[in-house]
Amino acid sequence: MFRCGIAYPRCRWILPLLLLFAIIFDIIAIAAQRGWVEDEDAKSHYANMWEHCRGRNNDWNCKSLMEYSWAQAVAALMIIGLIILIIAFIISCVALCCSLNIPLLPFIGGLLILAVILQIIALIIYPVKFNELIFEGHYDYTWAYGFGWGATILMIGCGILFCCLPRYEDELTGLAKTKYIYTSA
């Protein structure tokens, strides 16, 4: 017999785990040395969140992007978003893993939505201002920039789930009877 249903008690462990992955993705995006943008043709120019470098092989001339206000804003928004994400992760571990604390779930969702807004602003400002200021051909946005978007997308999903979970308090505590989506006799 095959039965398919939603096991809400598993959300208690999966959501903090997803937030941990979002933290890891954010740290990778922020700390990437060679990374957000790369020159497509000659591979002679790349930039991360902190600096941009020109050159070839082992001879690179790097300049800090922190002299530009837009780069400072991007760095600040990404770091503040990461700090809010870490706070939300800690609170979610307390609210879901230690003991079930339903009133904290919408607060966690609100924190995540705030972090999402900050990071989306940063992830949009960077390519726009980079293209205005330093653009000299065709550039590809690389894996580190993608990790920033990956963390943001994880936070969007978790934020929505944290806001919706208080409606399913009985299911989360295991008091409700499992409703099967599909049963075969």
pLDDT in tens, 34-88: 778 877 765 777 778 888 887 777 777 888 888 889 889 999 999 999 999 999 9
Does the residue 48 lie in any domain?
Answer: no
Whole-number Å distance between alpha carbons of 185 and 180: 13
Domain membership of residue 58 (yes or no) is no
In a domain, 45, yes or no: no
What is the pLDDT, as a whole number, of residue 182?
A: 64
- Structure confidence at residue 1 as a pLDDT band (50, 70, 90): very low
Number of domains in the chain: 1
Asked if residue 50 is part of any domain, the answer here is no
The secondary structure element, H or E, covering residue 127 is helix 104-134
Q: Determine if the pTM surpasses 0.85.
A: no
CATH number of domain containing 91: 1.20.140.150
In a domain, 147, yes or no: yes
pLDDT digits over 82-97, tens only? 999 999 999 999 888 7
3-class DSSP state of 98: helix
**18 falls within a domain:** yes
Domain that holds residue 141: 10-38+65-183
